[in-house]
Amino acid sequence: MFQRKMIPLLAVMMTALMLIISGCGSAANNAASANKDTAAQAEASGANSTASPKVELLVSAAASLTESMDELKTIYETAHNDVNLTFNYGASGTLQQQIEQGAPADLFLSAGKKQMDALLDKGLINSELSTNLLTNDLVLIVPGNSAVQINTLEDLEQAGNIAIGTPESVPVGKYAQQTLSYFKLWDSLQSKLVMTKDVKQVLSYVETGNADAGFVYKTDAAVSDKVKIALTVDPASHDPIEYPAGVLTGSQHPDEAKAFYEFLQTDEAMEVFKKYGFNPAE
């Protein structure tokens, strides 16, 4: 009798035990699966955190290159997603002084050979990674709505303010000075001259009517619908307008700097420069 009563009880206990074991196994499997997912997430997170950061290339470039270099930045960064280009635009003479004083830069693009040569002489530019990249033309501009008739440089005698870049630090100003001296107008126009920090300021003064005329590069006049070209200056009256490019010897990323330097000389880059009015150097 006792044995018959125990059999159902044992069956109930065995069933309960099996349910407990089954539950524990399921919990263990769930825990293992969760641990595996957590480990995978941690591994992925670790991989992301250890991914190499983008290389920051610092390029000091003449202000007249702003539009073309901004477009080339987009093209280059799209093809090289491990590189980020940062531009420091300004007057070539100012950029030269910044580099001489230790300002960080990987490449230098000047609107004048004089500034590049000065850095080459001081060993700040790699002579094997330096070249004459582009050329440009000097033009005289007036406001788009100007009624002043300027057909020759001598007509500037009848104009009011004339904007030019400061010759000591702004190459376009130096070329303008050479031109006015060549035509024996430099001294007689002194009272009319308004000196600016770079070519973009010359353009701004003429656009806003703060100057009746100004000397800029052809490429600067081409990107403004608020000015018109009164005349193109005779290139025989000034030094050749050359745009040299070079990699700094102190570049923190020499390989990436060299790669971008070489890209600037490709047909693809030259098409962009031509679009903005530059000419490839011969």
pLDDT in tens, 83-142: 999 999 999 999 999 999 999 999 999 999 999 999 999 999 999 999 999 999 999 999
- 147 and 132, same domain (yes or no): no
Q: What is the CATH number of the domain that holds 163?
A: 3.40.190.10
pLDDT of residue 107: 99
> Poorest-confidence range of 37-46, 151-160, 189-198?
37-46
User: Does 207 reside within a domain?
Assistant: yes
pLDDT interval class at 22 (50, 70, 90) = low
The span from the CA of 272 to the CA of 280, in Å, is: 11
pTM: 0.79
pLDDT of residue 282: 87
The span from the CA of 117 to the CA of 98, in Å, is: 15
pLDDT of residue 42: 44
pLDDT of residue 154: 98
Counting the structural domains of the chain, the total is 2
Of the CA atoms within 13 Å of residue 86, those in its CB half-sphere come to 8
Q: pLDDT tens across 220-260, in order?
A: 999 999 999 999 999 999 999 999 999 999 999 999 999 99
Share of the chain above pLDDT 70, in %: 82
Instruction: With a cut of 50, say whether residue 2 has pLDDT above it.
Output: no
Binding residues for molybdate: 64, 92, 199, 217
Instruction: With a cut of 90, say whether residue 39 has pLDDT above it.
Output: no
Instruction: With a cut of 70, say whether residue 27 has pLDDT above it.
Output: no
pLDDT interval class at 45 (50, 70, 90) = very low
Cα distances (angstroms) measured from residue 259 to each of 39, 75, 130, 253, 263: 39, 14, 13, 10, 6
Q: Find the domain containing 192 and state its range.
A: 138-237
User: Does 15 reside within a domain?
Assistant: no
- 142 and 229, same domain (yes or no): yes
Q: pLDDT tens across 55-88, in order?
A: 999 999 999 999 999 999 999 999 999 999 999 9
pLDDT of residue 188: 98
Task: Please give the average per-residue pLDDT across 204-233, as a whole number.
Answer: 97
User: Does 169 reside within a domain?
Assistant: yes
pLDDT of residue 14: 54
User: Does 3 reside within a domain?
Assistant: no
- 84 and 216, same domain (yes or no): no
Domain boundary residue, one of 220, 237, 254: 237
- 129 and 144, same domain (yes or no): no
pLDDT interval class at 24 (50, 70, 90) = very low
pLDDT of residue 147: 87
- 130 and 246, same domain (yes or no): yes
- 95 and 150, same domain (yes or no): no
Query: What ranges in the chain are assigned the alpha helix state H?
Result: 2-49, 66-79, 92-100, 113-121, 171-182, 199-207, 218-222, 254-263, 267-275
Give which of 183, 179, 145, 155 is closest to 165, Cα–Cα.
179
pLDDT of residue 15: 52
Binding residues: 64, 92, 199, 217
User: Does 27 reside within a domain?
Assistant: no
Domain boundary residue, one of 203, 219, 237: 237
pLDDT of residue 34: 45
- 79 and 150, same domain (yes or no): no
The residue type found at 137 is: D
- 212 and 95, same domain (yes or no): no
The span from the CA of 59 to the CA of 68, in Å, is: 13
